[in-house]
């Protein structure tokens, strides 16, 4: 949730012409991460479904990282902000991969 909140705060500062373009895409990809993780919790008895939602969250997280890099490249965020959020997203990736591995071991 923290990364999503940070992305929403960042996009409020984007130029007006990016509010509904890149800004909106960053908001959607970052909000998709906790939403998919939450949805996966409803499928404790169905590991394949749970893994699908966790995999979707991982894909959205990678998309958010791309959004952050593009925002840096376009000069919408500074290097310090990018570095902080990139480290945060990297930690989330490690956690998600661990969750996916645990669920995958239940399927095998």
Domains and CATH numbers, the chain: 2-107 (1.20.1440.60)
Q: How far apart are CA 14 and CA 23, in angstroms?
A: 7
CB atoms within 10 A of CB 86: 16
Nearest CA among 89, 75, 88 for reference residue 22: 75
Does the pTM surpass 0.85? The reply is yes
Q: How far apart are CA 102 and CA 48, in angstroms?
A: 12
pLDDT less than 50: residues of the chain: none
85 and 65 Cβ atoms separated by less than 8 Å: no
Q: What is the pLDDT of residues 75-91, one digit of tens each?
A: 999 999 999 999 999 99
């Amino acid at each position: 949730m923290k990364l999503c909140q940070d992305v929403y705060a960042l996009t409020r500062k984007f130029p007006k012409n990016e509010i509904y373009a890149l800004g909106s895409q960053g908001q959607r990809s970052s909000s998709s991460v906790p939403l998919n993780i939450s949805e996966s919790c409803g499928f404790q008895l169905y590991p394949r479904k749970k893994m699908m939602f966790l995999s979707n969250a991982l894909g959205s997280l990678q998309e958010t990282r791309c959004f952050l890099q593009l925002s840096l490249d376009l000069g919408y965020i500074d290097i310090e902000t990018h570095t902080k959020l990139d480290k945060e997203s990297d930690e989330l990736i490690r956690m998600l991969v661990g969750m996916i591995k645990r669920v995958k071991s239940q399927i095998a």
